[in-house]
Amino acid sequence: MTTRISRRSIIVAGVAAGAAGVLARPAVAVADRARTGGTALTHATVIDPHSGKVLPDLTVVIDGDRITDVRRGPAPGGARVVDLRGKFVIPGLADMHAHAQAEGIDPALNIANGVTTVRDMAGSPLARDWRARIDAGTLLGPRYTLGSKIIDGAPSIWDPAFLDVIQVADPEQARQAVRQQRDAGADFIKVYSRVSRPAYRAIAAEAHRLGIPFAGHCPDEVPMEEIADLGQASVEHMFWAPFDTSSKEARIRAEIARIRLELGDYSGWFKAIHPLEWTAANSYNKVKARQLYGKLARRRTRQVPTLVMHRGLDNAHTLVIGNDPRDKYLPPSAIGSMQFALSDFYLKDRAPGTYAEWAAMFDHRLRTVHEMHQHGVPIMTGTDTGTVAVYPGFSVHDELALLVEAGLSPMAALQAATAEPARYLGTNTGRIAAGHAADLVILDANPLHDITNTTAVSGVVARGRYIGPDERLAILAEVERVAAQTPEGVAVAAGCPCHTPRRRVPA
């Protein structure tokens, strides 16, 4: 039996009216970033993933929101000096697959964790509001890149009565959706799982004609090699690579073509796709894998694995909601939504006899990420905030650790969170050099010795503003207060429009 998403379990993105008084204000007010003489971070060990260099005892000079110099020697006269003796400086981190959840929560948690760049994959009104306020200097938060509304096939596995999804049944509707979302201000077009092959090709053609990138899921009907040839900028999640790398691909694709799902039946998608994933993983072909990964590398098609999401999904039977110390930073409705998704969405139709193969699929995903990296496929960090056991800001560090577990070096993992997102976005973030954005993370320990040292955040520089240890702790304390004061029955945008239902927790 599949779980159809009902009116009771869906809410619109954003904060319900009842929470406005509690969550409308910034977690921490933004101070004037301009300082006479700028700021100088002295005696720092600088780790620059863009160049792969580690340089001890440097001074990083910041003026406004830019790095103006990286050098050995004293701070310039008049600069505010921050002595970082014994500390390590890396570029600000990026979450390249996120979904806005709650006012007073996400932007602050990202900054407190050194996440200074976020790509929101559904361009929600909440994220649009955050970006406007952050750019205006009235809210402390990361730099946002905003996707379009989700463009899915017809019927969508999301019900448009409850989630603002665009259904396209044919190429003309697909082209119209691209035009509409470009005109609405989207930075890129988000494609989804059930878009038909003809509609997908129309999305690609129209996006190229209008000069707007398109990214997202690999539609079930479309091979990954084809989306690379058509210019999709990034692929989210690790559901589809097994199909292209299977010796039984033709049979699997024939099964995919026979899948029929009702409107809003996402758990039905899991039920249909997982056995095919399992077949594909057990018929893995190295020659086909080399061909696919080579093409992704040549086309610069980025892979955003969202391993932290897959870890929760593939090992859902081991999760206990409410035991994570980071729960205190989320409103009760978000924790309730996680519990609902775990019991009524992830596990409802999952037979206990399949638990071992689900867990084995996660191991296969780790191996796939490693092989992709070995073949030169560009990897970027993304978390899929809003899914079970995924937390804004914090889970970027989880993703870094999982990339290293998959076989990437700590430096390569840092590149996936800094330099590669900057190249993808075409921004001057992601490195520590003169002329680049002053988005930095200050660590108490060397992440190249142990990638989990990225969690040892001492301070953050966001758009040139230095946030020291005390202010960082104050940000976290304020988020905890806001989360605790959110009424139990208030619905927030807790849930990811990728594959987690949103839910109003009963009062």
List, in sequence order, every beta strand (DSSP E) within 28-154.
39-48, 53-63, 66-71, 80-83, 88-91, 93-98, 115-120, 143-153
* Tokens coding 449: 């010795």
Q: CA separation (Å) from 384 to 167, 319, 368, 499?
A: 22, 17, 19, 9
- Chain-centroid distance of CA 258 in Å reads 31
Q: Which helix (H) or strand (E) holds 175?
A: helix 171-183
3-class SS at 129? helix
Supply the pLDDT for residue 445: 98
d(CA 243, CA 306): 18
Domain count across the chain = 1
Q: What does the pLDDT profile of the chain (507 residues) look like in tens digits?
A: 333 333 223 222 333 323 333 333 344 434 434 445 799 999 999 999 999 999 999 999 999 999 999 999 999 999 999 999 999 999 999 999 999 999 999 999 999 999 999 999 998 999 999 999 999 999 999 999 999 999 999 999 987 777 789 999 999 999 999 999 999 999 999 999 999 999 999 999 999 999 999 999 999 999 999 999 999 999 999 999 999 999 999 999 999 999 999 998 888 899 999 999 999 999 999 999 999 999 999 999 999 999 999 999 999 999 999 999 999 999 998 999 899 889 878 898 899 999 999 999 999 999 999 999 999 999 999 999 989 999 999 999 999 999 999 999 999 999 999 999 999 999 999 999 999 999 999 999 999 999 999 999 999 999 999 999 999 999 999 999 999 998 775 545 434 444 444 433 322
In a domain, 167, yes or no: yes
3-state secondary structure of 24: coil
R_g of the chain, CA atoms, integer Å:
22
Note whether residue 497 is domain-resident.
no
Domain contains 499:
no
Element (H, E) at 460: strand 457-462
Which residues, 6+ apart, have CB-to-CB distance to 464 below 8 Å? 33, 39, 62, 63, 64, 65, 66, 438
Query: CA separation (Å) from 490 to 10, 12, 26, 472, 493?
Result: 13, 12, 19, 27, 10
Name residues whose C-beta falls within 8 Å of residue 146's C-beta, 6 or more positions apart in sequence: 120, 123, 127, 128, 131, 185, 186, 187
pLDDT, position 163: 78
- Does 506 map to a domain? no
Return the exposure string of 272-302: e unless at least 16 CB atoms fall within 10 Å of the residue's CB, then b. bbbebbbbbbebbbeebbeebbebbbebebb
Provide the residue range defining the domain that includes 223. Answer: 7-485
**Is 29 within a domain?**
yes
- The C-alpha atoms of residue 120 and residue 98 are separated, in whole angstroms, by 5
Query: Is residue 2 situated within a structural domain?
Result: no
Q: Is residue 500 part of a domain?
A: no
Q: Which residues pair with 466 in a beta bridge?
A: 461
With respect to residue 50, please indicate whether it lies within any of the assigned structural domains.
yes
C-beta separation of 98 from 119 below 8 A: yes
Q: pLDDT value at position 345?
A: 80
Q: Read off the pTM.
A: 0.92
Give CA–CA dist 326/181, Å, rounded: 35
Q: What's the rounded Cα separation, in Å, for the pair 106 and 230?
A: 34
Residue 452's CATH number: 3.20.20.140
* Tokens found for residue 47: 């780790």
Query: 240-259: string of b/e by CB count within 10 Å (b at 16+)?
Result: bbbbbbbebbeebbeeeeee
Neighbours of 53 (CB within 10 A): 11
